[in-house]
Amino acid sequence: MRVPDANLDEVRTQGYTIVEGFLEPDLLAAAQEGIKAVFPDNATYFADPNAYADLVKHPFAGLRLFPYPNWDINRLVVNPDLVDAAERLCGTTNLDIYKIELWAKYSGKTDYDQHHHRDYGNHTIVVPKVDDDFVQMTTFLLLSDVTELNGPTKVVSLDKTKDLPLYPNNLSKGEYVDKEVSVVGPAGSLFIYRTDVLHRGSALLGENQSRFMLLVDFKPRGRPWTGKIAWPDRANRPDWAPALARMTPRERELFGFPAIGDRYWDAQTLRDVGLRYPEMDMIPYQTGVLA
C-alpha cells in the first residue's frame, strides 16, 4: 500500500510512524516462506534450539546482510511503495539504499534488551541535521506479528527529547523508558523512523517466541558523510547477480548501478557487464550506445 502523507508527516514531526497493512498478503506470505531459506521458522527452531545455537550467541547473531537466496525477500527491498515513501520523505528521487539487513530473534538464549540510542552512530560520521529537508529514512518491515511478548522496538517521540543534544547517541539503560512507545503490529506492518530518534530493542518475554524483520534504509545521494554498507563489497556473493538481474534499471540505480544513458555505457561495458550478469537484460542500456 502507498504510505499515506499523514504517516510521513508523523515521521517529520515525532520521528517515527507505524503503517499497518503496508505489505500485501501475497507478498507477505511469499516472503515468510522465503525466510526459511535463511533462518529456521519458529516451529523448526524450538524443536531443537541447540541445533541453532549460532543464531543466539549474542543479540545480533541472527542478522544477515543482503542479498538473500530468495527473490521473494530480495524484491521487498525495492518494493515500489517503499521506494515511493523514501522519495517523498527524503525529498528527492536521487536516492541510495545504504543498508539492508534481515534479522531473526528467538527467545530463551540471549537478552535483546537495549538502552535507548540513535542509529546515526554508524549511519553517518557527523550527526543528523534536525531541520534538514533531506533526512535519511530507516525502516523495519515486520515479517511476523509483533506483540509485547516478542521484543517490540521501543521508540521515544522527538517532542520528548527536543532539548536533548544529539550526542552522546547512547543513553544509560533505563532512561526514557517512561516515555517510550512499543512498535507492535501484525506481520506486514512498516515502521519508519529517523536516525535522530531514540529507540531500543526489548526483550522477548514469552516462551517459544520469535521475531523476523527486514531493515531497509535510504538516503539522499551525494552525501558522503552518510552510509553504512558498501555494495561493491557484497557484489561477489553468489546471490548478488541473480537479485540484480531480476530488478528494473531504476531499482538497480538505488544500489549505485549506472543509469540508462550514463556515459559509463559503451560497447565494451555493455559486453562485459553482460558477461558478469548473464541473466540481466542489457537492451535498455544500449540506448544511445549502439544506435
The three-state DSSP-derived secondary structure of 14-45 is HCEEEECCCCCHHHHHHHHHHHHHCCCCHHHH
Rounded to whole angstroms, the Cα distance separating 78 from 290 reads: 29
Q: What is the pTM of this model?
A: 0.96
What local confidence, expressed as pLDDT, does residue 289 receive?
Answer: 83
Instruction: Give the three cell numbers for residue 78.
Output: 525495492
Query: Average pLDDT of the chain?
Result: 96
CB of 192 closer than 8 Å to CB of 11: yes
pLDDT band at 291, cuts 50/70/90?
low
Instruction: Give the three cell numbers for residue 36.
Output: 526459511
Rounded to whole angstroms, the Cα distance separating 3 from 147 reads: 22
**Stretch 268-286: mean pLDDT:** 97
pLDDT band at 290, cuts 50/70/90?
low
Task: Give the tens place of pLDDT for each residue, 225-240.
Answer: 999 999 999 999 999 9
Rounded to whole angstroms, the Cα distance separating 220 from 222 reads: 7
Task: Give the tens place of pLDDT for each residue, 149-182.
Answer: 999 999 999 999 989 999 999 999 889 999 999 9
Domain ranges of the chain: 5-229
Rounded to whole angstroms, the Cα distance separating 244 from 30 reads: 19
What local confidence, expressed as pLDDT, does residue 255 receive?
Answer: 98
Homologous superfamily in CATH for domain 5-229 = q2cbj1_9rhob like domain (2.60.120.620)
Task: Give the tens place of pLDDT for each residue, 131-146.
Answer: 887 899 999 999 999 9
